[in-house]
Amino acid sequence: MTEVMIRPVKQSDFDAISRIYAEAVETTTANWEWKAPSADELLRRYLELREKAYPYIVGEVAGELIGYAYASPFNLREGYQWVVEDSVYIHPDHFGRGHGSVLLAALIEICTAQSYRHMLAVIGSSDNTASIKLHEKNGFDVMGKVPGIGWKLDNWQDWVLMARPLGLGTSAPPTDIIRSIAN
């Protein structure tokens, strides 16, 4: 595997990010948007996450942005403030090379350092075996499946919910600083 350099996202990355995301929107069930948003819209979404200190990273191989990953809130209610949902997207030319695993492992490490206690993955479609295997490789377990919960690519699609503990997980009550997620 070619070495992947992980770094924080920059605003100048959003043209490349929007191309990767558009491919996923148009051809996969990795997400359930029907129309790919513009680079400006993806930048706006990133700035919203950055405002609340959620991590957003990119992977480069030989100077080319080949994928990205970020954490976002699973739910905005206070009791969920120690839980994040991950998103990982890889350029199709780089599928199957382990780059997604490098990005996800880095995201897990960052979220653990930020005192999150759980990371969830909501996999669009039980047919998305690559994403399920990626998450299993990184310590996630399948928690359940919701059949036919969404419509994408002319079919009803399943959700597969996966989860993994971070740091202390549920072995102790949260003693870290309470996050302000309602701002």
pLDDT exceeds cutoff 70 at 1: no
From residue 41, give the alpha-carbon distance in Å to each of 35, 75, 109, 138, 162. 12, 21, 27, 30, 28
On whether the pTM is more than 0.85, the answer is: yes
What's the pLDDT tens digit per position in 80-137? 999 999 999 999 999 999 999 999 999 999 999 999 999 999 999 999 999 999 999 9
Angle at the Cα of 172 (from 167 to 177), degrees rounded to 5? 70
* Domain map (residue ranges) of the chain: 5-165
Q: What are phi and psi of 95, to 5 degrees?
A: -60, 150
Range 164-174 average pLDDT: 92
What is the second-level CATH architecture of the domain 5-165? 3-Layer(aba) Sandwich (3.40)
CA-to-CA distance for 44 and 148, rounded, in angstroms? 30
CA-to-CA distance for 142 and 140, rounded, in angstroms? 7
The separation between the first and the last C-alpha atoms of the chain, rounded to the nearest angstrom, is: 42
